[in-house]
Chain A
């Protein structure tokens, strides 16, 4: 169809290595159909083959970026700070009118007692990913704030490797609590309300910078600007707007590093590298 013929014409021009975009748990990445449509859209806009590289764990994506095996990636604030100048900030998604989001502390819907993370002492707690600020860093920061030791606070903790699965862990009762990316929770509530319906949001964190899209430093300025423009201008055409709707986003902006100062602060506080 259109994307194929576009690809065909592009391939006919030159033998091009595809642009590789890493996808992480920051994205509700079970939505394969949306991802495919987005890939086709970007391919057409860039007139260049595009490939998404989904990975279950931030650690894997970070490793790929370290190796230079990815051109771009959608990661979250914590890995962004960690990667330092390996990457440049490419674009920041806008959701609910702001490039910000919160972390939700959730418990099973039947638990009406828990009011804050302090009430979850000695329970089974689910983390999303050790490199997620909302799914790991933020709750540990909260525990420290109430004067407890994050390492011993819970009876048992485990990683689900995605925010969606952390929500499922709480919904099934496997964990008595989790902290998840609010954006992912909101998106899941649209797609699978029966899952989110079995959880209850206890509290919402302060706002943090939305998980950013980053570019590897080896990406040329010209390509960088073209990619940035493709993302930012998505909200200007019909297909782009449809995709944004499916992604549960308003659009993208070029963004500012300073959005992630809050994350940097938490990291310092917890003594994380």
Chain B
């Protein structure tokens, strides 16, 4: 039995925080108080009660407070375009919190993210107590780096890699990751990776971690018609013991967070629908 609820939440604020990136605050005590890092909410992306866009969209929870929760999203299609027009006071139909959260932070944790994969890592970082946590973010340009203030607020150091070199290390975040893993190996320091972001990044992170046998949690994304485990639409192929059929797991209930080594990366090529 999960904590999931269906609620009508009210928009408290919405800000464009970077070109096409929005931060949305929704009032719902019950979701705010039960959501854990890695879980998502399933939102009806409509301006009015109509049948289109038909399906809910899934967004990781980025931050919670006593009364409200926040998501960060990027306009990628019709649903998110409609959402970006919401004003404070708009009522929103939300299902959540859903899915399996990240495992607790390890003594030494590296959070590796990019794009809209960063918000759930921000929420994970906020759960830090005494663990040593570093965040490595990859982005195309400095304008695509989001949630800086969330990491700052919880005192977690941030390193950035940008493809165009406009900030931090020029190139991909995987080179930052490699550097820190080499470092950890030299010191014989166990480390766990938590990663969320574009699929090519996740693949590369998973491959690096597999090579050096470092545990790695990934948060996955796929079109989710129902979000609650009924339709079997959002499956990811797994290697080894999968779900009851041995081949697939549902990202909405068996994930979205999974251990990277469970995933059959060679057969995983989703095409997210706008």
Are the chains A and B members of one assembly?
no
**A residues within 8 Å of B by Cβ?**
none
